[in-house]
């Protein structure tokens, strides 16, 4: 397993990040423990979660994924410093007016909840889940800077920020001498490129930010499980239908061919390799809900595309400005 610096920081993270949105949703606690243990055994030291995971699921109040991770850490007795824990804040966690957003009030309350559920005394990477148009960026960065100074948070990052808001945040931090975002978690994969590549990629490159793409397999589309006449039911089928078009079916055929040439690599492994072959990418977030899916994802460890192979996939999945 290759380990990389998280952006400009000295924090070293594995080339794959274990996402946990499925914990307590499509993976029960037992399965989640098995996935966490196998991932750590394989060399994955980077775990990503969020306080709201998975509040949208029936009977899930939020905080369940963090709680599962905390229980696993306690039962596994893995030394805290061996694991890099990233979590996120922004979503609604209660019924009160200050139970969501990026205000000082909500962040101070939310970080204590995350620390308690995770069973740790610091968070390695604390990320704003998406921007908050109702809170001044100075307020958000000010409280995050306080948490870094207090030692409750090591580094801060963000997710789902447009380029202008990300740039505003970086410059606000610089002008006011505050901790700045050191990473971005964008929605980015072979069939969803424009959102990141249009502007965000250049911002991340210019400011030496770590890039941790979520949904690298496009909600399962880039696993090859779907086809023009094969569309099995799944928890994410509704969100995947947007990728059902002739252009993307041809892309899957090309990837399947590349996989055969590389000794039987799967389409999902090729999709992860496409990201891992880009020097701008730090660590794509995988989200297996079973050991079988995790093992398939691990097959992409160390897998890289040649410049010619990457260029062909770039061309086959190209987007128009």
Distances (CA, A) of 172 to 60, 130, 145, 155: 36, 17, 12, 16
Instruction: Please state, in angstroms and rounded to a whole number, the distance separating the CA atoms of residues 182 and 320.
Output: 29
Instruction: Please state, in angstroms and rounded to a whole number, the distance separating the CA atoms of residues 101 and 135.
Output: 8
Residues facing 88 on adjacent strands: 127
Nearest to 69 by CA among 20, 15, 13: 20
Q: Give me the sign of the Cα torsion angle 103, 207, 1, 300.
A: positive
Residue among 53, 126, 207, 243 flagged as catalytic? 53
Instruction: Please state, in angstroms and rounded to a whole number, the distance separating the CA atoms of residues 151 and 149.
Output: 5
Instruction: Please state, in angstroms and rounded to a whole number, the distance separating the CA atoms of residues 261 and 239.
Output: 31
The yes-or-no answer on residue 122 being catalytic is: no
Helix (H, G, I), strand (E, B) or coil at 14: strand
Catalytic residues: 53
């Amino acid at each position: 397993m290759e380990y990389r610096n998280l952006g400009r920081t000295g924090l070293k993270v594995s080339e794959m990040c274990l996402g946990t949105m499925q914990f307590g949703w499509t993976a029960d606690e037992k399965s989640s423990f098995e996935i966490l243990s196998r991932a750590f055994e394989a060399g994955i030291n980077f775990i990503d979660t969020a306080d709201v995971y998975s509040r949208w699921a029936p009977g899930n109040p939020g905080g369940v994924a963090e709680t599962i991770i905390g229980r696993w850490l306690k039962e596994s007795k893995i030394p805290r410093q061996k694991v890099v824990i990233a979590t996120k804040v922004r979503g609604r966690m209660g019924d009160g007016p200050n139970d969501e957003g990026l205000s000082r009030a909500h962040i101070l309350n939310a970080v204590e909840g995350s620390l308690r559920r995770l069973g740790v005394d610091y968070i390695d990477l604390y990320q704003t889940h998406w921007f908050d148009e109702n809170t001044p960026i100075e307020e958000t960065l000010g409280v995050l800077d306080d948490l870094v100074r207090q030692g409750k948070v090591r580094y801060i990052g963000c997710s789902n920020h447009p380029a202008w808001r990300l740039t505003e945040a970086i410059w606000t931090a610089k002008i006011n001498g505050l901790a700045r975002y050191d990473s971005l978690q964008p929605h980015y994969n072979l069939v969803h490129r424009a959102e990141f590549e249009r502007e965000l990629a250049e911002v991340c490159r210019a400011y030496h930010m770590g890039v941790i793409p979520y949904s690298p397999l496009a909600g399962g589309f880039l696993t090859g499980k779907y086809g023009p006449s094969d569309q099995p039911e799944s928890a994410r089928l509704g969100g995947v239908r947007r990728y059902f078009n002739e252009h993307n079916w041809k892309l899957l055929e090309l990837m399947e061919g590349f996989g055969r040439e590389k000794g039987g690599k799967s389409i999902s492994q090729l999709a992860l390799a496409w990201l891992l072959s880009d020097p701008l990418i730090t660590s794509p977030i995988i989200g297996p809900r079973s050991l079988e899916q995790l093992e398939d994802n691990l097959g992409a460890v160390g897998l890289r595309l040649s410049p010619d192979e990457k260029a062909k996939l770039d061309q086959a999945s190209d987007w128009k400005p």
